[in-house]
């Protein structure tokens, strides 16, 4: 049986789940916006989409820098943990890889954090080259208070920065 890997890869970016992206070719900026009101929770599917978008930005000659931000004055309150029981068996093994996508991007990646940078949102920010926060931004890995390790890269990263 032959599989259509191109179709499978392309399907990742169809129907973005709480994300928007844009390229300002005049200023050479790739914008990735977390946009799931009210607190821009990052879904399981969104993690794969973040990785695919950053990979595409890395290959786009019109993008010289990437900025990740949240919509409506909020960066991200974290991941959609209520949906975790619905994820297929062994489906979480690549979450850290997807959230470490900024580390692998050949372009500088800046994270603009407003209001909340929690859980997977904070882990995504930690994998960026530059992080900018407002004076009232709350940084947190709340899963540690539940006795869990940060599963998307908040512990020692599995991907090291390029030299």
Active site residues: 123, 143
Sign of the torsion formed by the C-alpha atoms of 64, 57, 158 and 83: positive
Cα angle value 110/135/31 (rounded, 5°): 25
Buried b (16+ CB within 10 A) or exposed e, 4-19: eeeeeeeeeeeebbbb
Tokens read off for 101: 């996508």
Structure tokens at 69: 């931000």
> Can you tell me which residue has the tokens 């991941």?
79
Q: CA 151, CA 140: separation in Å to the nearest integer? A: 14
Per the structure block, which two tokens stand in for 48?
Answer: 């794969």
Q: Please, is 44 exposed, middle or buried when counting C-beta atoms within 10 Å of its C-beta (0-12, 13-18, 19+)? A: buried
């Amino acid at each position: 049986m032959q599989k259509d890997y191109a179709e499978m890869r392309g399907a990742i970016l169809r129907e973005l789940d709480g994300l928007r992206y844009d390229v300002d070719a005049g200023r050479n900026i790739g914008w990735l916006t977390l946009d799931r009101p009210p607190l821009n929770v990052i879904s399981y599917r969104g993690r794969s989409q973040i990785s695919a978008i950053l990979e595409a930005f890395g290959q786009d000659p019109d993008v010289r820098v990437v900025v990740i931000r949240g919509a409506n004055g909020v960066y991200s309150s974290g991941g959609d943990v209520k949906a975790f029981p619905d994820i297929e068996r062994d489906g979480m093994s690549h979450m850290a890889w997807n959230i470490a996508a900024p580390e692998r991007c050949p372009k500088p990646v800046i994270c603009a954090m407003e209001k909340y940078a929690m859980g997977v949102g904070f882990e995504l920010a930690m994998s960026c080259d530059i992080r900018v926060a407002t004076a009232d931004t709350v940084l947190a890995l709340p899963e540690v208070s539940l006795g869990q390790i940060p599963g998307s890269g908040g512990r020692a990263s599995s991907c090291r920065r390029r030299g």
